[in-house]
Amino acid sequence: MQKGKKTVLTGDRPTGKLHLGHYVGSIKNRVALQDEHELFYMIADAQALTDNADNPQKVRDNILEVALDNLAAGLDPAKTTIFIQSAIPELAELFQYFLNLVTLARAERNPTVKDEMRQKGYDTNVPLGFITYPVSQAADILSVKATVVPVGADQVPMIEQTNDIIDSFNRIYGETFQKVEALLSPTPRLPGIDGKAKMSKSLGNTIFLADSVEEIEKKVMGMYTDPGHVHASDPGKVEGNVVFDYLTIFDPNQTEVEELKARYQKGGLGDIEIKKRLAGVLENLIAPIRARREELVRDPSAVMEIVRAGTEKTRARVQETMAEVKEKMKINYFN
């Protein structure tokens, strides 16, 4: 650990390009944290395989995509160590020992896992790797002795599971890990462009960080507003109106947004006008990310070299943790 700096671990599953939901939920937070903290960013391919075991090509293809999205959005490899989960076998080793500290009932109680199982229609046919992925995630976090994990709201149960494992480990084997803190984004959950509670690739309601200006405009123009607001002169609702939700989150000029809300509620402000404003706001946010992404994508091997070097550095660090873990667990036979 670097003196005085807290260690942060954060990651994405490489299952698709990242979107605005990821941006406000975690990427923005990460980029802000990298100056004052020691930051590890993990591409969670082994976790992605827990529900994509039959689709390895998808996971492989998206390693580069999520690396590009994060670098384009401002992760700086000079400050942040980027690595690939599966390339550090010690993570699987730590996961195995942690599995002994978690009961099946505890694993099944995790609300995020429950939700995801329902979404994926697993019922009782859930892969063991999937139901135990929060335990694997605890291993990811503790392998570098991170104490801060920037997450979206859906990941809070993962942090609770991690802290339970820390309690058990420390009690049985002696003080080894410090408690972990979830750092929630001010906007932990961005609604989808269709008004559904969450922006998600599987729901098809996303705006990607790599979207073109035309795609952004098209998506914003199709956004859900207030179905009762037919003519510009009609009074409209602001609550549950995605365009206003987004303006509240993304528009740098909140005084004007407040004025627009008042005008909309009174009647006399058309959907087209607020949508044009939002398209402009989002384009201002995404344009520099898109430009940087286009620059980076010209040399994919340079991006992979950043990831390779980061993986090597992380592995050395994880090996230090494992030496301590194995000593504490009395399984250090040959040294």
Q: Which stretch binds ligand TRP (CB under 6 A): 7-15, 54-62, 166-174, 236-244?
A: 7-15
140: nearest Cα among 159, 113, 117: 159
Q: What 3-state class would DSSP assign to 81?
A: strand
Binding map of ligand TRP across residues 47-76, x = CB under 6 A, - = no contact: x-----------------------------
Binding map of ligand TRP across residues 108-147, x = CB under 6 A, - = no contact: -----------------------------x--xx------
Q: How far is the CB of 198 from ligand TRP (least distance, A)?
A: 13
Amino acid code (one letter) for 10: T
Q: How far is the CB of 132 from ligand TRP (least distance, A)?
A: 13
Q: How far is the CB of 19 from ligand TRP (least distance, A)?
A: 12
Q: How far is the CB of 301 from ligand TRP (least distance, A)?
A: 25
Q: Which stretch binds ligand TRP (CB under 6 A): 39-47, 172-180, 232-240, 288-296?
A: 39-47
Q: How many residues bind ligand TRP (CB under 6 A)?
A: 13
The DSSP-derived string for 201-254 is GGGT---BTT--HHHHHHHHHT----TT--STTS----TT-HHHHHHHHH-S-H
Q: Smaller CB distance to ligand TRP: residue 91 or 257?
A: 91
Q: Smaller CB distance to ligand TRP: residue 10 or 110?
A: 10
Strand-by-strand arrangement of the 148-151 sheet = 80-84, 38-43, 7-12, 148-151, 181-184
Residues 152-171 that bind ligand TRP (CB under 6 A): 155
Q: How far is the CB of 85 from ligand TRP (least distance, A)?
A: 7
> Can residue 44 be called a binding residue for ligand TRP (CB under 6 A)?
yes
Q: How far is the CB of 134 from ligand TRP (least distance, A)?
A: 8
Q: How far is the CB of 48 from ligand TRP (least distance, A)?
A: 8
Q: Smaller CB distance to ligand TRP: residue 200 or 248?
A: 200
From residue 111, alpha-carbon distances to 49, 115, 154, 231 in Å are 20, 6, 9, 43
Q: What 3-state class would DSSP assign to 268?
A: coil
Dihedral (CA of 227, 232, 233, 238) sign: positive
CA dihedral 209, 69, 65, 93 (to 10 degrees): -130
Q: Smaller CB distance to ligand TRP: residue 15 or 225?
A: 15
Distance (Å, rounded) from C-alpha 221 to C-alpha 88? 45
- In terms of DSSP bridges, do strands 7-12 and 38-43 run parallel, antiparallel, or are they unpaired? parallel
Residues interacting with ligand TRP, by CB under 6 A? Answer: 9-13, 42, 44, 47, 137, 140-141, 149, 155
